[in-house]
A and B are shown apart, each in its own frame.
Chain A
């Protein structure tokens, strides 16, 4: 499975000089900063710094860009934990327990444990990639539009199932999100739901909508609060606690391993993977945990599960990029542009002919994980001071930051207006127990769900029997029903067995 000669050559490329590591350090820092600032995206950082890679060797260019990717992957969890703003869709589940931990004054612990699980998972994820790059890419090739549609629906039902007693409202939220995601021009070339507004022809900007629903709506709720952490003694920033929580991450080996496996395999699915992987890992961990009711209230296991999956989904998306030349999202699309700038085409031929570079990229990511530990431990204590800022100052600052970031994403006023409108919708959803995460995932994936349904329809010739030829699709649909109704069925069966035993 491993080509030893190419492995030696790859290690030689990496360790023959110090230059590759000099490039990696600023890359991680750029990623951390862009990830930690709400509204600035990892793909934006990579696009801004892409021209710098033009005069680098191809391998150095890839190391620089993957360093931004790695730093940004963890950076996105910092606002998720401290401000309930997931930096990317792949850190949505980090906010579920990370933010409640912060509000309880456990921000040091949450950040440390997120860093620990992220770095451990990056090492595990790229370790898996080293051995499994060929099988993963083979698996991705078997996924057609029917499977993609099923994965999207699965993602939405997974998150809706988190709504507990409000399951119906959870599913309603996810489906409404799906419809919102289809506003604008359809594949058939007609405009829907635009109300004659030219800004809406391209659809509703998903990331500003996410920022509005998650962050701005939460800030509206906190307007009568003095500090993010109510207890003044719990507002301390402690490097000791961060470091001890960082070490504590390895006490969750099974959660990290499960999250890593989910991250690598689900993360490899183009476009959908990273958004779904963290949710899937979170839900699986909650399902298997001895106290599932503690999730969503500040259980560190939730942060570990989400971070393990979102950090390794980077490795999964790299597998698809390197082995098939298919970008899974914005960040890998920028990397594909770097491939083109260096006249290199990703795919089976690239893996066959440039195996040493593939190994060098994988081993560089092991090194990046260790550098991320060092840089993260320096930066986290600085960023954690946010809990000491009075809400009177924090609320207008974060709202303004969201508005600037939203403008940065759209390039026009559609972004800020979207933040405003969706902040109100998010506030309304939270007040009446509709699921904000389910709606956000729906908005993010609505357009993709529709496109994949259309492709399936066209490929199948409108024949339902086509589904019977797609065992993976059937498998995912079964999983979808199990995740939605499994818990209820088990409790019904248990109560029936219990009542029979009593009789």
Chain B
């Protein structure tokens, strides 16, 4: 008797991640192979890629065979999108905004987005935290940090 294959959203996403990882592995193998076919270049990459191909196949079969398993209760992806976007924006703008202003804006905006409506608190905490941490790290590190307002080197 044949059983129809029905996958829910989580299982489809799980398989997509598996294929995504496999694609990255194959791309990396192809890039390394094109760079040089010497044994010294591929001594680890070839056996590990081979093993990964086998393991991904096993995992794929296991996921298809256990398609009726229970899906864990997870937070919706949309809940982390604002945080991830803000964090990505923070990291991306650091070279221009500097660690001082960038951190101040990131912390204050994060607080505002997560319900801190006392703007004095949001701005005050952001300012104190960003100044202290930027001064501490620029003092401790042996190389200059990008800054917009604070001195870049001590």
Question: Which residues of A are in contact with B by a Cβ distance under 8 Å?
Answer: 40, 48, 168-169, 171-172, 175-176, 178-179, 182-183, 186-188, 190-193, 216, 220-221, 223-224, 392-393, 395-397, 399-401, 403-404, 407-408, 411, 413, 416-417, 419-420, 423-424, 427-428, 431-432, 434, 446, 449-450, 453-454, 457, 462
Q: Are B95 and A188 in contact (CB under 8 A)?
A: no
5 contacts between A and B (CB under 8 A): A179-B25, A192-B41, A221-B80, A408-B137, A428-B17
Q: Are A413 and B94 in contact (CB under 8 A)?
A: yes
Top 4 A-B residue pairs of the complex, sorted by shortest distance between their CB atoms: A396-B110, A188-B40, A192-B32, A190-B35
- Residue B38 CB within 8 A of the other chain: yes
- Give per-residue flags for B111-144: 1 if the beta carbon is below 8 A from chain A beta carbons, else 0: 1001110000000010001100110010011110
Known interface pairs A392-B115, A427-B80, A450-B43. Does A172 touch B59 (Cβ–Cβ under 8 Å)?
A: yes
Q: Are A223 and B80 in contact (CB under 8 A)?
A: yes
Known interface pairs A171-B55, A190-B41, A413-B95. Does A223 touch B21 (Cβ–Cβ under 8 Å)?
A: no
- Residue B145 CB within 8 A of the other chain: yes
- Residue B75 CB within 8 A of the other chain: yes
Q: Are A404 and B44 in contact (CB under 8 A)?
A: no
Q: Which residues of A contact B133 (CB under 8 A)?
A: 400-401, 404
Q: Are A172 and B21 in contact (CB under 8 A)?
A: yes
In the bound complex, how far is the Cα of B110 from the Cα of A407, in angstroms?
21
In the bound complex, how far is the Cα of B37 from the Cα of A186, in angstroms?
12
Q: Are B130 and A400 in contact (CB under 8 A)?
A: yes
In the bound complex, how far is the Cα of B90 from the Cα of A446, in angstroms?
30
Known interface pairs A395-B110, A397-B107, A450-B43. Does A175 touch B48 (Cβ–Cβ under 8 Å)?
A: yes
Residue from the list B35, B38, B45, B94 in contact with A179, Cβ < 8 A: B45
Known interface pairs A223-B79, A453-B43. Does A168 touch B99 (Cβ–Cβ under 8 Å)?
A: no
Q: Are A168 and B58 in contact (CB under 8 A)?
A: yes
Residue from the list B35, B84, B91, B125 in contact with A417, Cβ < 8 A: B91
Known interface pairs A400-B106, A450-B44. Does A423 touch B87 (Cβ–Cβ under 8 Å)?
A: yes
**B132 CB, nearest partner CB in chain A, Å:** 11
Q: Are A416 and B143 in contact (CB under 8 A)?
A: no
Nearest residue (CB) in B for A458 is: B40
Q: Which residues of B contact A416 (CB under 8 A)?
A: 91, 94
Residue from the list B43, B74, B106, B114 in contact with A431, Cβ < 8 A: B74
Residue from the list A395, A419, A446 in contact with B91, Cβ < 8 A: A419
Nearest residue (CB) in B for A446 is: B44
Residue from the list B35, B44, B55, B111 in contact with A172, Cβ < 8 A: B55
- Residue B56 CB within 8 A of the other chain: yes
Q: What 10 additional pairs, Cβ within 8 angstroms, besides A169-B59, A404-B137?
A: A48-B140, A179-B52, A188-B38, A216-B87, A396-B106, A400-B107, A403-B90, A403-B91, A411-B143, A434-B17
Q: Which residues of B contact A419 (CB under 8 A)?
A: 91
- Residue B64 CB within 8 A of the other chain: no
Known interface pairs A176-B25, A193-B28. Does A453 touch B44 (Cβ–Cβ under 8 Å)?
A: yes
In the bound complex, how far is the Cα of B130 from the Cα of A391, in angstroms?
17
Q: Which residues of B contact A408 (CB under 8 A)?
A: 137, 140-141
**A228 CB, nearest partner CB in chain B, Å:** 15
Q: Are B40 and A432 in contact (CB under 8 A)?
A: no
Q: Which residues of A contact B38 (CB under 8 A)?
A: 188, 190
- Give per-residue flags for B41-54: 1 if the beta carbon is below 8 A from chain A beta carbons, else 0: 10111001101100
Q: Which residues of A contact B106 (CB under 8 A)?
A: 396, 399-400
Known interface pairs A400-B133, A403-B90. Does A221 touch B55 (Cβ–Cβ under 8 Å)?
A: no
In the bound complex, how far is the Cα of B42 from the Cα of A457, in angstroms?
12
**B143 CB, nearest partner CB in chain A, Å:** 5
Known interface pairs A178-B48, A392-B116, A432-B17. Does A168 touch B111 (Cβ–Cβ under 8 Å)?
A: no
- Residue B62 CB within 8 A of the other chain: yes
Residue from the list B24, B51, B125, B140 in contact with A393, Cβ < 8 A: B125
Residue from the list B13, B31, B74, B130 in contact with A193, Cβ < 8 A: B31
**A297 CB, nearest partner CB in chain B, Å:** 15
In the bound complex, how far is the Cα of B51 from the Cα of A411, in angstroms?
36
Q: Are A424 and B41 in contact (CB under 8 A)?
A: no
Residue from the list A48, A393, A395 in contact with B83, Cβ < 8 A: A395
Q: Are B17 and A175 in contact (CB under 8 A)?
A: no
Nearest residue (CB) in A for B35 is: A190
Residue from the list A176, A186, A431 in contact with B52, Cβ < 8 A: A176
Residue from the list B31, B58, B59, B140 in contact with A192, Cβ < 8 A: B31
Q: Are A396 and B107 in contact (CB under 8 A)?
A: yes
Q: Which residues of B contact A176 (CB under 8 A)?
A: 21, 24-25, 52
Q: Which residues of B contact A428 (CB under 8 A)?
A: 17
Q: Are B129 and A187 in contact (CB under 8 A)?
A: no
Q: Which residues of A contact B5 (CB under 8 A)?
A: none
Q: Which residues of A contact B114 (CB under 8 A)?
A: 223, 392, 395
- Give per-residue flags for B3-43: 1 if the beta carbon is below 8 A from chain A beta carbons, else 0: 00000000001100100010011001001100110111101
Q: Which residues of A contact B28 (CB under 8 A)?
A: 179, 183, 192-193
Q: Which residues of A contact B56 (CB under 8 A)?
A: 172
**A168 CB, nearest partner CB in chain B, Å:** 5
- Residue B1 CB within 8 A of the other chain: no
In the bound complex, how far is the Cα of B99 from the Cα of A415, in angstroms?
13
